[in-house]
A and B are shown apart, each in its own frame.
Chain A
């Protein structure tokens, strides 16, 4: 056989989008630190979202992508899974906050993948600690409001059903919250709590996205604003994609969701997460994961855009 010039660079162990694997010292401004969240123990919904990071890494492999062209965004680094303590909520909250803070301190932005929404208040708290002068706007794309009253934080500090309310308290009230894609029936108390916030249903969003970003930050034009974007795959109206909320047939299509995320790219996104995805665990069962990978790609693109609005 004739010798041919072949690239001998080995394909590393699976990473998100085949991105370089790194740690805190590899992070800097303009970089996006993609981290896995191996924890789904504090929600009441179906478990399994802790395996999302594993499956999303597998779905990033061209081997499984089955001909789809998946290229690596140049500005991301896979920093592995964040530390969690699945049976110790207080310890988990504190260590997630610390890791989120340390990533933000490097100038890089955190994109957390996998796990469930109950972990996100800790990450947002870390972001706020790293940016004390910034007015943080929290945008959540989900079917649920998750703004129930906070009960006994000492006993159960991480709880999905009240996570939005927890975040609102960190960010200075419900006016800092934007809930997009809401389609489930939530309690009157939750709607009342978010009456100062920005709430749009999936039905409203499916009609038009024009001017949405401007409306979300309308009251903050003269302030230093940072946006945290939280995406839950439960917003998808696709029975083939399982999330830890029961499927009700309502929500957005994948195309509508990626368009919405792209619209939000006009805002200065300082951190993001994609949670709630319960993957099929078979090595070859990657169809749903490939859809979620494309949604994550749109989040990375939105984070990489130069902000057209706010400071």
Chain B
């Protein structure tokens, strides 16, 4: 008989992602969804604090723990007000903890991230990586691409001025480094709701290779099947699909937590719809970046974080096959 015989208060106890089971790499198998923290941040950023993001997201996710809590039968999906069968979540969703990068050099931290992601990917498990800033994207992609190449869906974030960048060139757009390293090819790229307007040159390069780019307004006018086709098309090329969700994709009135708040970003409803739709394809990993929970001073729960986790819950339920009615996703 366990020590506790009754439920504990919402914020009490060990704060794993959505109260999921804590696990090791060995516990993962095909169909598992692993949540991993990568609390890395580039010290050159004036608004330091992205390293606290995994803690903050896990803490907020506890409010959604009942999605994964077997003691509540017939949980209701609070977003659509419909019954939701979550009985299988506990067998599929695991929290692996944080990658131990503190005190490591940048190159060792990168390698730890790469190897951790390799460990997950080789077990055919999918993952959600809680960054950290965008410096984690390159090592995560190396862990997935395994010396070959991967498809890449970028939601929000910076776009490179041009795809013709040398690897040695310093750039703040992670996609530029991925293209330069050959881990991602421009034709296998899809950019959704970028945080800033791309250059004319880059748009032309994208169009020439039939890569896709859509603004938040364009996404708003697409139905879920059209959005799903973007990720399904990439995965049909037999490439692992990496998704980077940068919080600069979200409209500025929703949050104050991104280092790069933008106007004209996606509403929460649209973000959730996009995540649910692209998760119909076998996504190898979703990397969450651009979240800085210390920007406005974090209290126990910050509304913006709850909204972000709402969108993530939609993603993981779709990825785990718990959402089947995609028509309702459009309403």
Contacts and interface: CB of A to CB of B under 8 A. Distances in A.
Of A11, A86, A95, the most chain B CB neighbours within 10 A belong to: A11
A81 interface: yes
A14 interface: yes
Nearest to B116: A8
A54 to B, nearest CB: 6
Interface in A41-88: 50-51, 53-54, 57-58, 62-63, 78-86
Given A51-B11, A80-B3, A99-B3, A58 B55 contact: yes
A57 B108 CA distance: 26
Interface residues of B, number: 51
Interface string B3-15: 1111111011111
A86 B12 CA distance: 12
A13 B22 contact: yes
B119 interface: yes
A152 interface: no
Nearest to B5: A83
A10 B3 contact: no
A14 B13 contact: no
Contacts of B37: 11
Contact of B58 (A10, A13, A38, A95): A13
A54 B6 CA distance: 19
B11 A54 contact: yes
Interface of B: 1-9, 11-16, 22, 24-25, 36-37, 39, 49, 51-52, 55-56, 58-59, 95-100, 102-104, 107-108, 110-112, 115-116, 119, 293-294, 297-300
A80 B107 contact: no
B103 A62 contact: yes
Given A7-B100, A12-B97, A21-B22, A282 B297 contact: yes
Nearest to A283: B52
Given A13-B95, A63-B102, A84 B4 contact: no
B241 to A, nearest CB: 24
Given A4-B108, A82-B4, A95-B5, A12 B12 contact: no
B99 A10 contact: yes
A57 B13 CA distance: 10
A95 B6 contact: yes
A214 to B, nearest CB: 36
Given A8-B115, A10-B96, 13 more contacts: A3-B111, A6-B108, A10-B98, A11-B97, A14-B55, A23-B3, A24-B1, A53-B12, A62-B102, A80-B8, A80-B13, A282-B297, A283-B55
B55 A1 contact: no
A31 to B, nearest CB: 13
Contacts of A11: 37, 97-100, 102
Contacts of A166: none
Of A62, A81, A82, A85, the most chain B CB neighbours within 10 A belong to: A81
